[in-house]
Structure 1
Amino acid sequence: MSPLPRRLVVLVLLAAAVAATASAASLSGAANDLLPKYGLPKGLIPDSVTSYSFDEATGAFEIHLASTCYVHFGSHLVYYERTITGKLSRGAISDLSGVQAKKLFLWVYVTGMVAHPDQGTIEFQAGFVSESLSASMFDEVRTCGSSAGAQLRGAAGVIGELGLLPVAQA
C-alpha cells in the first residue's frame, strides 16, 4: 500500500473516532452538566437523554429523551415529552415546551423556570401562575418512569381520580 492511501485510511479512522467521541459528548451526562454552568440544578432533566443540541449564541436547546416519561419530585409529578425545547440563559429557562406538571386534577404545561439562589428555590411558571420549590429537590438526576403509576394524564385521569367512571389503566 502506498503512503497516500495509508494516510487516507488513517485519516478516515481518526475522523470516525472523533465523530464517535463528539456523539458521546452530546448524550445525557453533558445535557445535565450544562445546567449548572447556567446556575440551574442538573436534576431538572431526567436521566434518559439520548441527544441534545444547544446554541450558545441564542441559548436555544432541544433535548431528545428515549421516550416520554414521568418523574416524581417529592409529591410533585412531572411528565416529560420525548422532545423538550426552550431557551437557556443565566438562572432561567424560557419558551419551554415538552414538560408538564400535575396540579390537583389537571396537567399544566411548564413554560419557564427561574432560579432564585438567594432563596434556594426554583420558580416554575405555567402561563400566568407559578410555584417555587426548593432547588435541592433537583440536585440529583432522576430516573424516568414509563408510567405515573395509577395516575393517568388528561380527561381519563380526571374521570378516574374523581371516581366518576372506571378507567382502564395501561
Structure 2
Amino acid sequence: MASSSSLTLFFCLFFISLFLSLSSSLNPRRPISSRSNGIDLFSSRNLDRPSLTADDIHDLLPRYGFPKGLLPDNVKSFTISDDGDFTVDLTSPCYVHFSDQLVFYGKNIAGKLSYGSARDVRGIQAKEAFLWLPITAMESDPSSATVVFSVGFISKTLPVSMFENVPSCSRKLYLQDS
C-alpha cells in the first residue's frame, strides 16, 4: 500500500512539474498580426484555436464559426492574441445596411474572440428605433444558422444569410436612415 501511494505521489508531482514548465513557456499576450506572412496565427499548443494564416480577417471569421460578412470591406489591419483578444482597425468609421438593420462601425473594434463567440465587443453600434446601442457580444449558432447580437442583457437574433457577403461601407449616414 505504501508503494502505491508513493507511485501516485510521484505521478502527481511529475504532471504538475510538466504543466508548470509548459505554461511558463507560453506567452498568452503575444500579438498576432494580419501581416504574419506564413506564420501560424496561433500556437500549436493551444488546441482549441484554429491554426492558420490569414491576410484577410474575412477569411478568418468562418474558422471561428462566424459568417465572413460581419465586418465591412474597409478593414485596414487586425491582430489576435493567443488568449483571443482582438483588434480590428478600419480605414475610417462607417455605416452598413444589413437588410433593415443599420450598423455603425467605429474606426477601432476590439473584444475577445473564441469559437462561436465574441465577447466584450467595443466599436460596433446598431440602431434600434431612435437609439444607437453598443453591441457587446455576438454568438454564432450553426444549428439554427443564426447570429445572436447582445446589447447588455438584451439580444437580437438575425439569420446568418444576412452576413454571407462582405458589406460595403458608407462614410455618411443618409437622412432617410437617421
TM-score of the aligned structures, taking structure 2 as reference length: 0.69
Q: How does 1:15-164 map to 2 (within 5 A)?
A: 22=35, 30-55=56-81, 57-150=82-175
Q: Which secondary structure state, in structure 2, belongs to the residue aligned with residue 46 of structure 1?
A: coil
CA–CA distance in structure 1, aligned partners of residues 123 and 37 of structure 2: 23
Q: 1:146 to 1:46 in 2, by over 3 A?
A: same
Distance 1:47 1:29 in 2: 13
Residue 37 of structure 2 contacts residue 55 of structure 2 at CA under 8 Å; is this kept in 1? no
Secondary structure, counterpart of 2:144 in structure 1:
coil
Alignment partners' CA distance in 2, 1:29 and 1:130: 31
Aligned residue for 1:22, secondary structure, equals: coil
- 5+ residue gaps, structure 1, are 1-20, 158-170
Percent identity at matched positions? 43
Tell me which amino acid in the other structure corresponds to 2:159: S
Query: Which structure 2 segments of 5+ residues have no match?
Result: 1-33, 39-53
**TM-score, scaled relative to structure 1:** 0.72
Q: How far apart, CA to CA, are the structure 2 residues paired with 1:119 and 1:59? A: 25
Cα distance in structure 1, aligned partners of 2:176 and 2:127: 10
Q: CA deviation at 1:22?
A: 3.3
Residue 35 of structure 2 contacts residue 55 of structure 2 at CA under 8 Å; is this kept in 1?
Answer: no
Match of residue 17 from structure 2: none
